[in-house]
Amino acid sequence: MIKRPRRLRSNETLRKMVRETRVDKSSLIFPMFVKEGKGIREEIPSMKGQYRYSVDQMFYELEQLSKAGVSSVMLFGIPDHKDELASGAYAEDGIIQKALKEAKRRFPDLYYITDVCLCEYTSHGHCGMLCGHDVDNDTTLKVLAKTALSHVQAGADMVAPSDMMDGRVAAIRNILDEYGYVNTPIMSYAVKYASGFYAPFRDAADSAPAFGDRKTYQMDYHNSREGIREILLDEEEGADIIMVKPALAYLDMIAKAKEVTSLPIAAYSVSGEYAMIKAAAEKGWIDEEKIVCETAIAAFRAGAQSYLTYYAKELARYIDEGKIG
């Protein structure tokens, strides 16, 4: 035989030399939950090893991330007060705004991305303003834009709208430009499916809808061409990075996104993915380390350039140890 693919698999040095997919710590983003109060570091029941932090307790985690070489953090806020107007989302003394100011002061070298959505701040748990039992798209845009601006004014390096309202990227881009933040990028949750993989997150962020579901604004998981349309629309509106969420069950969408846009692509390995791996590992049914590495590489192999994951610190260590990279 002349052609023998196994020739390039004969030892570790050679395998690494011809490796097609490589992972760097700079591509990792850690999602972090911050809440009102003091002295709080409470484990999330459905996400063992993940915590909600009060602002005064978040610094230990930021320090650990920094030491591990994870330079980017996505912040999610959990307010004490919720109302129909989501006023805590854009309040000057809101939880995200306070967290940003303190984090920037203590760890200025980290890169802070904020999730821009209203579900954590509304009394009804939906991602926008209600008209009856329907989420009013255009009214919501004004609140999202106001929220994004408040985050940037508090120190956010990037904003990431996750609400799935039509036109939200343009609304945010316009207000940021109007106030002089022309260089602040937007990471759009462009392809976000109405997924069962989000259940632990809703536990973590206390953001489950009080009635109905989010299928009128998040995407139907039967559809892929619809996702391409969302990507192209967000690109037209000024998105700088597009995200596919969830990651593991939507590798096809990451690959399709890479084909249709030249924008960088992020993939979010969501709470349900984390919880499944953790639960199976605790049972002894899988090797947690191997599965974490394999699922991460799957996202990068499909075309992601950034990876949001609750396993960011562990992956950084695996890179240092040469187990992934």
The closest of 23, 11, 88 to 323, measured between CA atoms, is 23
d(CA 267, CA 146): 26
Q: Where are the beta strands (DSSP E) in the chain?
A: 28-35, 41-44, 47-54, 72-78, 111-116, 130-131, 134-135, 158-161, 187-192, 241-245, 265-268, 306-308
One-letter amino acid of 280: A
- Using alpha carbons only, how large is the chain's radius of gyration in Å? 20
Catalytic residue selected from 192, 256, 278, 313? 192
**Residues 188, 231: Cα–Cα separation, whole Å:** 9
Q: How far is CA 116 from the centre of its chain?
A: 10
Residue that has been written with the tokens 């005064």 in this structure: 56
Exposed/middle/buried for residue 259 (C-beta within 10 Å: 0-12, 13-18, 19+)? exposed
Q: Pick the catalytic residue from 98, 245, 256, 278.
A: 245
Question: Which residues, other chains included, contact 84 with Cβ-Cβ below 8 Å and sequence gap of 6+?
Answer: 122, 123, 124, 129, 130
- Name the 3-class secondary structure at 105: helix
Query: Is 290 known to be catalytic?
Result: no
Provide the 8-state DSSP code for 120: T
Q: Which of 202, 101, 187, 188 is nearest to 151 (CA)?
A: 101
Paired tokens of 86: 């989501």
Angstrom distance (rounded) from CA 225 to CA 163? 20
The question of whether 35 is a catalytic residue gets the answer no
- Residues known to be catalytic: 192, 245
